[in-house]
């Protein structure tokens, strides 16, 4: 709210400075013409104009005072139910694509940790008579990933429903958290909070408190909650009323100095009574040892039991198809006979067993080389080898089976819709991983890709090229329209020269504006927006936005037209300029208000996937552009005719429609550069020219998700595992830092 007020105060200051400058110039011009009465009239007229911006601010404050500041209990309840549907739909599909509900998956056993990193038993499990009588102070929490109902029941028995899931990299911490989330949702009791999965990468509780961070992430991942049907602050209300069960993944991905702060913040926050937390064992132990108070208060702490060699061998055997022999008997014998050997130790986690399946089992490759201790002396060497070959194996298998003429192939959830070269795919994914790691996040958000266009001149030159191309094209089109409709007296050459000069100037200004916007937005956030043109229940916001837009548009139109008119401007007279400025300003203000009104999320139960959010943001760009062209174009023509600049209303409307259509294109590619999808497309073009990404990036990422290389987390993509992102990041750095011979 303070930031909004600051923006309005800045608007008044800038308008006042500009208006004062215009007053001095206009009065000076009138006095230079020797007419003191004219100067006095001008001063009086402009004083009225300058009263409009403060009036706009007053109207805004008054409108805000009439609007509700908080969502009602009924609206929050509807938002609560909608959130449950959104999360359930999102993770039902994601679990299916990732194969987490496969009945033949490896069952991981979990038990309470033996490390001294857990709160007092009474605070974790509550008072238990049997435990008191038998003097057993130990809490029990055992479970298996193939019996999630039992684990969900045990979680509900905890005194504060707080759980910490520990484990080494690749041991299935995130998988357990996701499966527990799904089980809690499928059997959600009345009044229970909705479990929501959130990655903690990039969070600093010192600058962003828990409730504010949860509110922001909830609004980002589920923008439908910001719809008018749920009131003005449904995400904040859901957090503050404890209707959210945060499932926080990746505490270990935060800096070591921040990890204890997160635990302290969760303990102090009144909005996080229930929470599920995942972290690597060593990092959590280090955070707990930094200070005795940095334990998750009332939280049970569990970790996986080691996967036995016999379990790993059984999992591999069940995955082999009949007749698939080769080096498999040798590998299975090595695992059983040498359980402490490199290959057996490497294949002791769910991650590496999955990698073995993708790299060797699915590709029908011979795994005998994995038993060579000279080539793979350690478990890490085996794991790195599997990670290095994952992308190639996943896509080469698909390419061999791909049948573009079979429609059933495209509907398969685990197969991509297109064929990609595995070498190109690895290079593109390595760049994406590098971009994410450099940003300090595990989430790839397509609207943040513009941050990779880091060269200032690249942004400016690219925007100038686009702006000049569009400006000249629009200018020539407008010149031909003026000449053919005879809207302005003169020859075809005169019309073309006039319009070409105007288009060149407009393209230069628009291109510079777009380039500057790209640079400025590198230090500010841009978010996807959504076009909602429904009228039901949204008439009040429509009226408010139109009133605000008209007020601003009229003020700007009058100030500009007066300046142009008195200094020698558009038509040559103050009255004609005012008529023109008022008409065009009103149309422009109407467009601004309409644009603000449509930029709201829709209310539906569809998951907010990356592809879906990009499509919706592009729809908003189209709506804005069409509204701009169809509104401002005819208004420009009619105003020009009324101001006696065009040869009659009909000629003015014809010229105005042509200008409006062209202006809509200019609006989409210059002013809409401030939108998420426009900046994404601009950055994508530059990165494609540098061979960093494919031109159909979202199509490629969707296919990478379908083959299991990526996972969806709301509107963002994540790599299947953090180790895969880290390995690909190193691959990218090795390729770019390799010395040139």
Higher pLDDT, 511 or 301: 301
The domain that holds 447 is classified in CATH as: 1.10.10
255 lies in a domain?
A: yes
For residue range 698-738, list pLDDT tens digits in order.
999 999 988 889 988 778 899 988 899 999 999 999 887 65
Query: Are residues 222 and 329 located together in one domain of the fold?
Result: no
The domain that holds 191 is classified in CATH as: 3.40.50
Query: Residue 630: its pLDDT value, please?
Result: 65
Query: Are residues 118 and 241 located together in one domain of the fold?
Result: yes
160 lies in a domain?
A: yes
Identify the helix (H) or strand (E) that includes residue 149: helix 148-157
Helices (H), 341-450: 342-346, 350-356, 379-388, 390-401, 407-411, 422-438
Last residue in a domain, options 304, 332, 360: 304
Report the pLDDT averaged over residues 546-560: 67
Higher pLDDT, 40 or 373: 373
Query: Are residues 425 and 384 located together in one domain of the fold?
Result: no
DSSP string covering 364-378: T---GGGG-TTT--S
pLDDT confidence bin for 45, thresholds 50/70/90: very low
Query: Residue 368: its pLDDT value, please?
Result: 92
522 lies in a domain?
A: no
276 lies in a domain?
A: yes
The lowest-confidence range among 219-233, 454-468, 537-551 is 454-468
Query: Are residues 147 and 233 located together in one domain of the fold?
Result: yes
Query: Are residues 446 and 355 located together in one domain of the fold?
Result: no
pLDDT confidence bin for 607, thresholds 50/70/90: low
Query: Residue 724: its pLDDT value, please?
Result: 93
Last residue in a domain, options 260, 275, 304: 304
For residue range 60-79, list pLDDT tens digits in order.
554 554 444 688 889 999 99
Helix, strand, coil percentages, rounded to 5, for the chain: 65, 5, 30
Match 């478990």 to its residue by tokens. 379
The lowest-confidence range among 266-275, 488-497, 614-623 is 488-497
Query: Are residues 338 and 261 located together in one domain of the fold?
Result: no
Q: Is residue 196 pLDDT above 90, yes or no?
A: yes
Query: Are residues 299 and 318 located together in one domain of the fold?
Result: no
Query: Are residues 289 and 354 located together in one domain of the fold?
Result: no
Q: Name the burial class of residue 330, with classes exposed (0-12), middle (13-18) and buried (19+) by CB atoms within 10 angstroms of its CB.
A: middle
168 lies in a domain?
A: yes
DSSP class of 450: G
| Pairwise CA distance, residues 4 & 2, whole Å | 5
Query: Are residues 234 and 254 located together in one domain of the fold?
Result: yes
Higher pLDDT, 25 or 99: 99
Last residue in a domain, options 278, 304, 330: 304
Query: Are residues 446 and 326 located together in one domain of the fold?
Result: no
725 lies in a domain?
A: yes
Query: Are residues 284 and 426 located together in one domain of the fold?
Result: no
The mean predicted confidence, pLDDT, of the chain is 75
Query: Residue 22: its pLDDT value, please?
Result: 46
- The tally of domains found in the chain comes to 3
564 lies in a domain?
A: no
Query: Residue 605: its pLDDT value, please?
Result: 47
The lowest-confidence range among 356-370, 400-414, 432-446, 570-584 is 400-414
Q: What are the tokens at 560?
A: 């500009």
Q: What is the 3-state secondary structure (H, E, C) of 198-247?
A: EECCCCCCCCCCHHHHHHHHHHHHCHHHHCHHHCCCHHHHHHHCCCEEEE
Percent of the chain whose predicted confidence (pLDDT) is above 90: 26
| Pairwise CA distance, residues 19 & 50, whole Å | 7
Query: How many other C-beta atoms lie within 10 A of the C-beta of residue 3?
Result: 6
Higher pLDDT, 453 or 474: 453
The lowest-confidence range among 51-60, 285-294, 415-424, 524-533 is 51-60
| Pairwise CA distance, residues 347 & 339, whole Å | 10
Report the pLDDT averaged over residues 373-381: 93
3-class DSSP state for residue 1?
Answer: coil
Percent of the chain whose predicted confidence (pLDDT) is above 70: 59
Query: Residue 692: its pLDDT value, please?
Result: 93
| Pairwise CA distance, residues 223 & 681, whole Å | 22
Query: Residue 184: its pLDDT value, please?
Result: 95
Query: Are residues 213 and 345 located together in one domain of the fold?
Result: no
Query: Residue 627: its pLDDT value, please?
Result: 66
Report the pLDDT averaged over residues 220-237: 84
pLDDT confidence bin for 636, thresholds 50/70/90: low
Higher pLDDT, 103 or 387: 387
The lowest-confidence range among 499-513, 558-572, 577-591 is 558-572
Q: Is residue 389 pLDDT above 90, yes or no?
A: yes
| Bridge partner residues of 311 (DSSP) | none
125 lies in a domain?
A: yes
For residue 700, the enclosing domain spans 421-453+693-737
């Amino acid at each position: 709210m303070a930031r909004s007020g600051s923006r309005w105060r800045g608007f008044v200051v800038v308008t006042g400075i500009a208006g004062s400058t215009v007053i001095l110039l206009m009065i000076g011009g009138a006095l230079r013409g020797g007419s003191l009465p004219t100067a006095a009239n001008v001063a009086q007229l402009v004083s009225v104009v300058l009263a409009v911006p403060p009036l706009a601010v007053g109207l805004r404050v008054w409108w805000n005072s009439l609007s509700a500041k908080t969502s009602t209990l009924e609206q929050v309840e509807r938002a609560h139910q909608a959130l449950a549907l959104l999360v359930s739909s999102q993770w039902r599909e994601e679990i299916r694509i990732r194969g987490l509900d496969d009945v033949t998956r490896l069952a991981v056993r979990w038990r309470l940790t033996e490390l001294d990193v857990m709160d007092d038993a009474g605070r974790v499990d509550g008072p238990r008579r049997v435990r008191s009588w038998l003097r057993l102070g130990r809490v029990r929490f055992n479970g298996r990933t193939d019996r999630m109902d039992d684990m969900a029941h045990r979680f509900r028995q905890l005194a504060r429903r707080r759980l910490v899931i520990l484990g080494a990299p690749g041991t299935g911490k995130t998988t357990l958290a996701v499966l527990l989330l799904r089980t809690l949702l499928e059997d959600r009791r009345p009044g229970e909070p909705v479990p929501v999965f959130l990655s903690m990468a990039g969070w600093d509780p010192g600058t962003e408190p828990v409730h504010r961070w949860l509110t922001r992430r909830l609004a980002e991942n589920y923008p439908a909650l910001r719809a008018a049907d749920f009131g003005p602050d449904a995400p904040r209300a859901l957090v503050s009323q404890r209707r959210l069960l945060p499932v926080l993944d990746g505490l270990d991905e935060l800096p070591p100095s921040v990890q204890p702060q997160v635990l302290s913040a969760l303990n102090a926050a009144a909005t996080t009574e229930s929470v599920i937390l995942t972290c690597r064992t060593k990092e959590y132990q280090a955070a707990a040892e930094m200070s005795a108070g940095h334990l998750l208060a009332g939280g049970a702490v569990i970790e996986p039991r080691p996967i036995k060699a016999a379990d790993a061998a059984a999992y591999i055997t069940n995955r082999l198809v009949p007749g698939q022999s080769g080096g498999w008997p040798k590998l299975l014998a090595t695992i059983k006979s040498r359980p402490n050997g490199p290959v057996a130790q490497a294949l002791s986690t769910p991650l590496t067993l999955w990698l073995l399946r993708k790299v060797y089992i699915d590709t029908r490759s011979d795994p005998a080389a994995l038993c060579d201790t000279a080539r793979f002396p350690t478990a890490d060497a085996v794991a790195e080898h599997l990670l290095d070959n994952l992308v190639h194996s996943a896509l080469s298998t698909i390419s061999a089976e791909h049948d573009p003429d079979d429609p059933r192939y495209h509907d398969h959830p685990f197969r991509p819709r297109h064929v990609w070269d595995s070498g190109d795919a690895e290079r593109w994914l390595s760049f994406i991983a590098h971009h994410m790691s450099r940003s300090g996040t595990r989430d790839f958000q397509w609207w943040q890709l513009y941050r990779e266009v880091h060269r200032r001149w690249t942004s400016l030159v690219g925007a100038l090229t686009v702006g000049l191309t569009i400006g000249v094209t629009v200018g020539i089109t407008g010149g031909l329209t003026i000449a053919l409709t005879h809207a302005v007296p003169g020859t075809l050459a005169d019309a073309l020269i006039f319009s070409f000069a105007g288009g060149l100037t407009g393209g230069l200004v628009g291109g510079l504006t777009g380039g500057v916007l790209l640079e400025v937005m590198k230090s500010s956030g841009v978010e996807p927006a959504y076009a909602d043109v429904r009228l039901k229940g949204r008439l009040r916001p429509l009226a408010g936005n139109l009133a605000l837009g008209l007020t601003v548009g009229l003020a700007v139109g009058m100030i500009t037209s007066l300046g142009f008119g008195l200094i020698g401007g558009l038509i040559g007279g103050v009255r004609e300029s005012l008529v023109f400025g008022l008409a065009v300003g009103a149309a422009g203000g109407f467009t601004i208000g309409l644009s603000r009104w449509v930029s709201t999320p829709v209310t539906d139960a569809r998951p907010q996937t990356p592809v879906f959010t990009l499509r919706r943001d592009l729809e908003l760009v189209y709506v804005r552009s069409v509204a701009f062209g169809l509104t401002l174009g005819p208004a420009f023509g009619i105003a020009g005719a009324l101001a006696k600049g065009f040869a009659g209303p009909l000629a003015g409307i014809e010229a105005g429609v042509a200008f409006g259509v062209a202006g809509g294109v200019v609006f989409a590619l210059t002013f809409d550069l401030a939108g998420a999808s426009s900046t994404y497309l601009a950055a994508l073009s530059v990165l494609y020219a540098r061979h960093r990404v494919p031109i159909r990036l979202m199509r490629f990422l969707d296919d990478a998700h379908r083959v299991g290389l990526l996972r969806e987390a709301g509107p963002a993509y994540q790599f299947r595992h953090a180790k895969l992102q880290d390995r690909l990041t190193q691959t990218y750095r090795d390729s770019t830092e390799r010395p040139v011979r």
